[in-house]
Amino acid sequence: MTLLNEYLNCSIFGWSRKCFAQIRVINMRQQLALVGKEFDNVDPQERDWKGVVIALVVIMFICLVIACAVFLFAPMSLTVSDPRTPIKLSNMSRLRSPIYDVRWSGTDSIIYEDITKGVLRFDINTVKTDTLLDTRATVFWQGGHIYYSDSAESVKPVQISEGGPNWEHGIFDWMYEEEIFGRQSKAVWWSLSGDKIVYLSHEKSKEKSITLVSLNHTANFIFSYSRRESYPHTLELPYPKTHEKHLPTYVIKMWDKNLRTLKQMDVQLRDSTAFHYLYGVRWVMLNGKERLVASWANRLQNHVSVTICDYDTAMCSLVFEHKYDADKWAEPSDFSSILGSGDAIYMLLPRAQSDGNSYQQIAKLLIEMENGNDFKWAKLSYLSAGNFDVTKLEAFDRATDTMYFTAAAPSPGNHHLFATKGTSVDNERYMDMCFMPFQKLYISNKSDRRQL
């Protein structure tokens, strides 16, 4: 039945829902038949070309939309006519406050640090600011040498280290880093005023190395395996073993920032031919002048020597020695908190107490000088303490003659901050004795030590 016949029948017998449905079905069949005839007459290769053309048109349309979006939504700062300049590394500090680490110094002044100016002191009464320390100066290591720069933006750094490629400056080897200086790899120390720099140098060719096989090696750890690595790596690590004759020996060098001159210190030890470990390096202020205190230990670590280094004489003079008992030895941590004030330096040394044990106590070394820069042998005395170990010297207040220290007291499981007078124990400790009623003796042991 054709579409025309169906129209005639519906016109004669009346239009009903059935007529409309039949007309739609006949119309759909005729359209499908026409589409089939068109595809039958088109070559398959022609159909493929039509699909490719349609796909290319769609891709071009999408690219056009993306180009329009980039043009419309791009910021105006990227155009050539924009007068603004891009941000630089030197401008990053402007995004944060340059002042930090603000603290009181007494009751009339404030000490704070400014990123661009250094450590400053502000006087409340006079409303004036004084520069205490210029922190813009920088020391960095590059290509085996140490360089100094007046600021991070300086384009002409000064090389302050000397020596050939066989020398290593400003860094510790594995043994000193792990065993002595507590995983501190930097062997560079600024003076208290920032005018001088001390660094250590050693010759690499005289060291023996051990070979480690590892699957993954980083700056801080050596792993025995790694899922990301298929083949192991061999690592040459300078590390002297037991009974090794050639051990790493360091040379102390001091550089003056104002004079731009470098001096190598002549260390005056009792036995200069024997090997010594460098146990500690500390800047102190003695008699109004900056001095470097270098502590040394023999190979058995039961005999320590204290030297004071001076830039003018280029010498580290021996001022004190201490021999430990047969069953005791020196620890590097005991020489990491040395303090100096006036004509004395303070450090930790063992001392026998009334209970029969030996504890780490605060030793005061009185330093006397002759002929200007010549040091005499130091006089040893001890500050007031008790039957406990002093673990660290925190600070010394010269105005009140007070030493602040940390100790494992009143029991080894505790750790508290204490304060005591800076005078020796012989001039400070005394006893009061009196008889109470019924003839009972009362003894009061007075000491100026107090817990904070």
Mean pLDDT, each 10-residue run in order, the chain (452 residues): 56 58 66 58 66 87 89 63 67 73 85 84 90 83 89 83 87 85 85 91 77 55 57 72 79 94 94 87 90 93 94 93 89 90 92 86 90 83 86 90 89 87 57 37 42 54
Q: How many CA atoms lie within 13 A of 30 on its CB side?
A: 10
Give residue limits of the domains in the chain. 3-73, 98-132
pLDDT of residue 14: 56
pLDDT of residue 30: 65
Distance CA 1, CA 18 (A): 15
Specify the residue for token string 């001091």. 254
pLDDT of residue 442: 35
What residue type is assigned to position 210 of the chain?
A: I
pLDDT of residue 361: 92
The one-character DSSP state at 37 is H
Q: Tell me if 38 sits within 8 A of 47, measured CB to CB.
A: no
Distance CA 447, CA 430 (A): 7
What residue type is assigned to position 208 of the chain?
A: K
Distance CA 134, CA 137 (A): 7
Q: Are strands 128-133 and 138-142 parallel, antiparallel or unpaired?
A: unpaired
pLDDT of residue 390: 93
- CB burial readout 96-124, b (16+ within 10 A) else e: eeeeeeeeeeeeebebbbbeebebbebee
Q: Are strands 315-323 and 266-267 parallel, antiparallel or unpaired?
A: parallel
Of 393, 380, 368, the C-alpha closest to 425 is: 380
Where does 374-426 show beta strands of DSSP type E?
374-375, 379-382, 390-397, 402-407, 416-421
Torsion of CA 193, 196, 200, 203, to 10 degrees: 170
pLDDT of residue 11: 55
pLDDT of residue 365: 94
Cα 157 to Cα 115, 135, 150, 223: the distances in Å are: 20, 16, 8, 38
Distance CA 296, CA 451 (A): 32
Distance CA 415, CA 411 (A): 8
Q: Per 3-state DSSP, what percentage of the chain is helix, strand, and coil (rounded to 5)?
A: 20, 40, 40
pLDDT of residue 237: 74
Q: How many helices (H) and strands (E) does the chain have?
A: 4, 33
Specify the residue for token string 């042998």. 377
Of 324, 389, 380, 329, the C-alpha closest to 353 is: 389
Of 368, 381, 316, the C-alpha closest to 342 is: 368
